[in-house]
Amino acid sequence: MIIGHIGARKGSKGVPGKNFGPICGKPLIDWSLDQLFADPSVDVVVVSTDDEAIYDHAVKRGALEIGLRPAHLATDTAGKFHVWQHALGVTEAITGPATAFLDLDCTAPLRLPHDITDALALFAAQRPDMVMSCCEARKNPYFNLVEPDESGALHVSKPLPGRVLARQQAPVVYEHVGVVYVVAPDYLRSAEGLYDGRVIPYVLSPDRCHDIDTPFDWRIVEFLLQQQIDAGLKPKA
């Protein structure tokens, strides 16, 4: 059994109310909910939230009733992994054991359906503890990310012998993005954080790797999402 999960906390300092805010014709959360409900491999959909309006909306659409998340998991310092652990526990208490825990970030609506399918296939083929969506980093600590020393002078963050003179010479570095995660339930029950086990990348194009953390992010994602709709890659609202 595959659990499809979305975390949608009520509070947001950067964009207040963003998870339930309208974007391209429907609430932000619905771009992810629609994908979970449409995927035939997902057996049950759950939404972990402290927002009664979001919770009621998700349940009316067909999400399993798991109740609101506890207060200690509703702060801006609560870790994603512990939210997942809670959601897994309360869901399995109702449905029985899961074979995979699939999470979609509410704030990453640019994913395409095949991103979910491909991540699940990678998980099934390699059996890691977690598949994590990534894209090749647009800035590289071996080349063009710098940090100050004690005197304030800048240096490459991760210098290599002989120096890296071109981006193409730098080791590959990935950005962790919240497009899709697939987690082994046994690992989720026992680990303390994302990187405690064997985590492998599902690499996708940077043009789908935009999270909404600021009003500027919202404008970028809204523009790109409308482009996907116009191109027929996403259904119209």
> What's the CATH number where 96 sits?
3.90.550.10
Checking if the pLDDT of 75 tops 80, the result is: no
d(CA 55, CA 90): 15
Band (pLDDT 50/70/90 cuts) for residue 24 is: very high
In this structure, are 142 and 220 located in the same domain? no
Q: What is the pTM of this model?
A: 0.94
Q: Rounded mean pLDDT of 83-100?
A: 97
Checking if the pLDDT of 169 tops 90, the result is: no
- Please state, rounded to an integer, the average pLDDT across all residues of the chain: 94
d(CA 49, CA 53): 9
Q: Rounded mean pLDDT of 168-173?
A: 88
> From the CB of residue 50, how many other CB atoms can be counted at a distance below 10 Å?
18
In this structure, are 97 and 157 located in the same domain? no
In this structure, are 118 and 28 located in the same domain? yes
Checking if the pLDDT of 90 tops 90, the result is: yes
Amino acid 162: pLDDT: 81
> From the CB of residue 48, how many other CB atoms can be counted at a distance below 10 Å?
26
For 120-131, the pLDDT digits (tens) are: 999 999 999 999
Which is more confidently placed, 76 or 100? 100
Amino acid 93: pLDDT: 98
Residue 219 domain boundaries: 2-134+173-230
Checking if the pLDDT of 48 tops 90, the result is: yes
In a domain, 85, yes or no: yes
In this structure, are 9 and 70 located in the same domain? yes
CA 38 vs. chain centroid, Å, equals 18
Band (pLDDT 50/70/90 cuts) for residue 76 is: confident
d(CA 24, CA 91): 31
Given a contact cutoff of 8 angstroms between Cβ atoms, the answer to whether 15 and 114 are in contact is: no
In this structure, are 223 and 199 located in the same domain? yes
